[in-house]
Amino acid sequence: MGTLLSEAIHLIKSLETDRAEAEEALKQQKSRKKKIHMKIDSWSVWRLQEIPLAVQKEHEAYLRDIVELRWHLEDKAYQLKHFEEQKAKLEEANAKLQADIDYMNKLGPLINSKQNQELEALKEFYTKKFEVMELCKQIHEELEEAIEDVENAKLNAKQIRQDMEQDIHSDETSIEAYKREREKLDNLYSHYAIAIENVNVSIEENEEAVHEALKETKTSTKELSALSKTLDDLKKIYDQLSWKRKSNEQEYLDVLNNYYATKKSWDIELSNIAKDFSDISIASTQLTEENRRLEIDIETVAGLINDSIKKKAEFESEIQSSMKLRSKNDEFLKQLYREAYHLGAIFHLTKVKTEELEEKIAEVRRKFKGREEFLKKLTRGEVANGMMIQKRLYSIQEEQILERQELLEKKAMCALALAELETPLFELEEDAVRIRTIHKEHSDILNDIIERRDNVKRNVERTKQKLRRRGKKTREAITETEEKCSIIFREIENTKSKTIIYHAKINQLNENLKEKEKENITFAQTIGNLKNEFITMRYKREHAQAVFDHLISEKKIYEERLYEEEQRYRTLITMRQKVLADIKKIQDDSLEENLRLAQEYQKLQTIFLTEKDNYFNLYDRQLSLDASIRDKKQLCQLQRRIHKVWQKHFKLVVLYSQMRLAKFQTDSQESIQKILAVQEESSNLMQHILDFFQTLTDGSCKNDG
């Protein structure tokens, strides 16, 4: 019993030692578990230490974004100030333009009245021009009539010359007949000289007949003296006519020279007037085109101003939206500060997504900056265009003032030219009237000369008849008396002297006729030159008329072209307006799309944030669950290992006890019963121990569960 007790005590001690070892192992396991928990806690602490750094980095990044947003807001505020300044400048420019437009509207009726007055002046000028052309035509017709009258006068002069030559030839034949009669009279004189002696007896008887013959001779001498006086008067009249003809030729040449000089000056003035008219028409077309361009530019400027006002409203709405976004961003930052501590674990996973979002935001910022720069360029271009338009308006006003002054000067020059032209025209009319009167006087003088020539012919025929009668009477008287023969002889001598005088006068008349023929030749040459000049003038007039018609046709063509260009510009304006309307529609659609996309982006951001929050919450729960599951798994594995180790340990203890029992059996076969009892007790103890361990393992599992 003592040995059994000692062995039992030894076994109990060994069991206690094993139990102490098991307790130490449990303590070690617990300490290990504590260390593991400490490590886990240290890891969680490390994680908590890293999360603030990450949050700090995020905070710094968001601070950078906030600084950038503040910079952008400051830039926007500066741009807004700049836009307000530009708006003020544009309003000032618009006020100036409105003042200029009001000024133009006020002065529009005056300008229109002035234009109407200028048009009336041009119409009056054209009427005067047509009147002058009609006067020129009338003068031309009168000149043609004068040329025809001159040709008729030349023909009449030729006929008169031929008649005078015939008269001279007849006078020469009559002189030859007189010579023959003289010879006959000489023969008769010789015959009468013989008969004088016979007649002297009868002289006393025929004194009464002699007195009658003397009376007839006196009457014949009186008639001869009257004829000589008429010849002297005719000669004087001829000299006066020749002098008048020379003076008329000189006046005609002076008038022609004045006419050609005035015509040249008139042509030059007409060409200058045509040039001025063409320049005025070109200037008027340019002014109309510039006015149309200005109207188009004003319309475009008004449209651009309206667009700028709309853009300003859009910018204000964008600024308000940006302010709202700023407030939202502030709230979002507060939420971020609140939720920053929950973003550590997802930082590495969401980094790629955040980078992509940052790239998108950068692209959006770039687009926004590009749009801002584009709007800046547009506003600067609009301001530059407004300044250019103002400069153009001022330059156009100055050009209009200069052109008005030039037109007034040209109008004054035209009035002076017309006044200068009126005086030579009146002089030409007076000269034409003078030429007509002189022509009538010449024709009257020629008619008088012809009548006088006819009277002279009649008187010569009468004198011839009288001389024949007297010759008969003298023959009768010579046959009757010698005194009558002596008287007739004296009369014949007188007639000889008179015939000599008449021959001299005839020679003078022939010389005068030759001079007249030369003068007629020169006059014909001058008339030919005048005809040639008249043909050239008519050609020039026709050429000027053709040029004028060509200019009128070109004017019509230019007017048609201007009308076509106006229609074309109107169609282009309508097309541009349609294009502008389409562009505005496209811009509105694009703005609506941008708003829709921004709203969708905001919605997506809100959805993303909500999903992110949900994901973070789920991730936190998942992390806690995973940690608890891992701990549970580790504890189960440790319990399994401990159970296996305890099983091995108890198996080894059983084997050790069996070996000891075998030793005890080999050592003492005597104490089999004791051993059996000890075995029974040991088996009972083993069962108690197993029950104890089972109770321990069941309690630990339940506690773990």
Residues 229-252 as b or e (16 or more Cβ within 10 Å = b): eeeeebeeeeeebeeebeebeeeb
Name which of 129, 172, 81, 143 is nearest 537 in CA terms.
Answer: 143
**Residues in CB range of 459: below 8 A, 6 or more apart:** 223, 227, 230
What are 557's two structure tokens?
């063509």
Check: CB of residue 58 under 8 Å from CB of residue 335. no
Check: CB of residue 700 under 8 Å from CB of residue 639. yes
pLDDT of residue 614: 77
Mean pLDDT, the chain cut into blocks of 10 residues (705 residues total): 60 70 76 72 58 65 74 77 79 76 71 73 72 71 72 72 69 67 63 59 56 60 62 65 66 65 65 62 63 65 63 66 65 61 56 66 65 65 65 66 69 64 61 63 65 67 67 63 60 65 67 70 70 70 71 76 78 78 78 75 74 72 72 73 74 73 65 62 66 59 44
- Range 301-305 contact pairs with CB under 8 angstroms and sequence separation of 24 or more: 301/97, 301/382, 301/385, 301/386, 301/389, 303/580, 304/382, 304/385, 305/90, 305/94, 305/382
pLDDT of residue 704: 44
Check: CB of residue 322 under 8 Å from CB of residue 76. yes
Angle at alpha carbon of residue 115, lines to 112 and 121, rounded to 5°: 145
Check: CB of residue 541 under 8 Å from CB of residue 136. yes
At 458, the amino acid letter reads R
> Could you tell me the CA-to-CA distances from 272 to 266, 283, 422 in Å, in that order?
9, 16, 17
Query: Which DSSP category does 204 fall into?
Result: T
Q: Which residue carries 């001299």 as its tokens?
A: 504
CA separation for the pair 380, 385 (Å, rounded): 8
Residues 385-408 as b or e (16 or more Cβ within 10 Å = b): ebeebeeebeebeeebeebeeebe
pLDDT of residue 571: 80
CA separation for the pair 61, 226 (Å, rounded): 148
> Could you tell me the CA-to-CA distances from 48 to 177, 335, 349, 467 in Å, in that order?
174, 19, 17, 177
At 168, the amino acid letter reads I
Chain centroid to CA 103: 23
pLDDT of residue 634: 73
Reported as half-sphere exposure (CB side, CA atoms, 13 A), residue 520 has a value of 17
Query: Which DSSP category does 344 fall into?
Result: S
What are 375's two structure tokens?
């709007």
Name which of 43, 133, 167, 127 is nearest 460 in CA terms.
Answer: 167
What are 612's two structure tokens?
């992110």
Tell me the whole-structure pTM to 2 decimals.
0.20
Can you state the angle between helices 2-203 and 482-667, rounded to 10 degrees?
180
CA separation for the pair 253, 248 (Å, rounded): 8
Query: Which DSSP category does 700 fall into?
Result: H
Check: CB of residue 77 under 8 Å from CB of residue 373. no
